Amino acid sequence: MKKNGVINPKLMEAITGLYHYDTIMIADLGFPVPKGVQVIDLSLVKGVPSFQQVMRALFNECVFDEVWIDENMAKWNKPLYQYVTESLPEQKINEVGFPELKELASKCKVIVKCGEFKPSANMILQSFSGGKASVEKFTVSFPPEFE
C-alpha cells in the first residue's frame, strides 16, 4: 500500500504511464473534454479538489518542464495565474487562446477533472525525463498552505 502521494489508482496508473513529452491536463468542471481522450474525474463537490491541490499532487509525483494555460487566466482568474506563475519558475509557461488549448487537450494522454469552478482553471503539463540535474531543475516548491 502506498504511504504517500497520489492514492487514486486510475490517476497513479496514468502518471506511471507517462513518457518523455507526454501531456496530461488538469481541467476545471466546465472544460469540454475532447472525444477519445481518457478522463479521470476527481471532482466531488464544487471546489473539491481544487486546481491547486491537483496541480500539487501531479508535480509531487512527476517532472514537468513545460505547461500551457489559457491566455485569459491572468484576466479572469488572477489568483490562480499568480499561483501558477510563481510556483513554476523554471517551467516554460505558454499562454494560448482557448481554441488552441482545446486542440492541445485532444492530444493529451489523460485529462484530470478537478472540482474547480473558477474560470480558466485549465493547464496542460508536459512530462519530462532526464538526469538528476534536469530533474532537480524542474522540481517545484509550493506554498505551505497546500501541504
Catalytic residues: 20
Task: Give the integer Cα–Cα distance in Å for 140 and 147.
Answer: 13
Task: Give the integer Cα–Cα distance in Å for 147 and 134.
Answer: 24
115 neighbors 46 (Cβ within 8 angstroms): yes
DSSP assignment string, 11-45: HHHHHHT--TT-EEEEE-TT--PPTT-EEEE---B
Q: What is each CA distance from 32 to 39, 66, 77, 104, 119, in whole angstroms?
A: 11, 22, 18, 12, 13
User: Which of 68, 117, 111 lies closest to 88, judged by CA?
Assistant: 68
